[in-house]
Amino acid sequence: MKIYDLSEGELRALNENLQSANENETSWQIERPEGAHAIAVGLNAPIEVTINGSTGYYCAGMNKHATIKVNGSVGPGVAENMMSGRVIVEGDASQYAGATGHGGRLIIRGNASSRCGISMKGIEILVEGSVGHMSGFMGQSGKLVVLEDAGDSLGDSLYEAQIFVRGKIKNLGVDCVEKEMRAEHLQYLENLFKSEKIDCDAKELKRYGSARKLYNFNIDNLQNY
């Protein structure tokens, strides 16, 4: 295990070390992040990084293969554009968590604020608390699973990302509708909860998706432009 104290060392040096880590250095621990930005970004190997404390903007951004765990809360844009791997946040996440993510799994044990999963492209996001307004906005593919409530305009202008929510929804965004929970969806959720050791009955969640009414231009709406 390599331990790196960010209050003493340079962030750039840490990221360079993490980005070039090899199979002999698979376990890293970062102490005293003190809200610094862009910690553990652009990793490209199956290493494990634990951050003890809260981080600022863009923690674990562009992650590929690595497992990054934050024992604290994260600022805006955690795991932005993740390709693969796992990011676990023990606390809360600020705006646009998991934005534009192509793959991998982001788990937020607390709440995520606005625009969680905006423009998601294949990432799986599991939020054990609630998500803020405009979550899932323009989500193209992937899954957003919320175990508590969702704020204003959930799934606005959604493409083919799937959204599952257990709690209350303030309101659904344009072109987002509740959809039937089929066996394959229940199976997906059951597997997710089992693999993450979460005690939750998949049947308590509802599924939301695109009504696909915005996909094509509708001549009747011409006067609105």
Partner 1 sequence: MCGIVGLFLKEKQLYPELGKLLTQMLLTMSDRGPDSSGIAVYSDSDESEFSNKLTVMSANPDTEFALLKLELEKKLERKIALQQKHNHGVFHLSQEELQFVPAYIKSILPDIRTMSKGKRIEIYKEVGLPSKVTKQFGVSAMSGSHGIGHTRMATESKVTTFGAHPFSTGSDQCLVHNGSLSNHNLLRRKLSREGIEVETDNDSEVAAAYLTWQMAKGLSLEQSLQKSLTELDGFYTFLVGTKNGFGVLRDPIACKPAVMAETQQYVAFGSEYRAFAKLPEIQSARVWEPEPATVYFWEL
| Beta carbon nearer to partner 1, 71 or 141 | 71
Any contact of residue 5 with partner 1 (CB under 8 A)? Answer: no
- Binding part of the chain for partner 1, among 8-16, 30-38, 175-183, 192-200 by CB under 8 A, reads 30-38
Strand pairing class (206-210; 48-52) = unpaired
Residue 22: exposure state from Cβ atoms within 10 A (0-12, 13-18, ≥19): exposed
d(CA 160, CA 7): 43
| Beta carbon nearer to partner 1, 5 or 201 | 5
Any contact of residue 130 with partner 1 (CB under 8 A)? Answer: no
Q: What angle do CA 39, 40, 46 make, to 5 degrees?
A: 165
For the residues of 138-178, what is the DSSP string, one character each? T--EEEEEESS-B-SSBTTT--S-EEEESS-BS-B-TTEEE
**8 A C-beta contact, residue 18 and residue 46:** no
Residue with tokens 């257990």: 166
**Sheet (strand 86-89) strand order:** 2-5, 27-31, 48-52, 67-71, 86-89, 105-108, 121-127, 141-146, 162-165, 206-210, 176-179
Residue with tokens 């803020």: 132
Considering only 50, 63, 81, 95, the residue that binds partner 1 (CB under 8 A) is: 95
Q: What is the per-residue binding string for partner 1 in 45-74, x denoting contact by CB under 8 A?
A: ---------xxxx---------------x-
Considering only 92, 124, 128, 156, the residue that binds partner 1 (CB under 8 A) is: 92
Q: What is the DSSP letter of 93?
A: B
Any contact of residue 100 with partner 1 (CB under 8 A)? Answer: no
| Beta carbon nearer to partner 1, 35 or 46 | 35
Any contact of residue 135 with partner 1 (CB under 8 A)? Answer: no
Any contact of residue 156 with partner 1 (CB under 8 A)? Answer: no
Any contact of residue 127 with partner 1 (CB under 8 A)? Answer: no
d(CA 177, CA 222): 24
- Binding part of the chain for partner 1, among 15-23, 33-41, 154-162, 168-176 by CB under 8 A, reads 33-41
- Binding part of the chain for partner 1, among 79-87, 90-98, 170-178, 187-195 by CB under 8 A, reads 90-98
| Beta carbon nearer to partner 1, 32 or 179 | 32
Q: Which residues contact partner 1 by CB under 8 A?
A: 34-36, 54-57, 73, 75-76, 91-92, 94-95, 113-114, 132-133
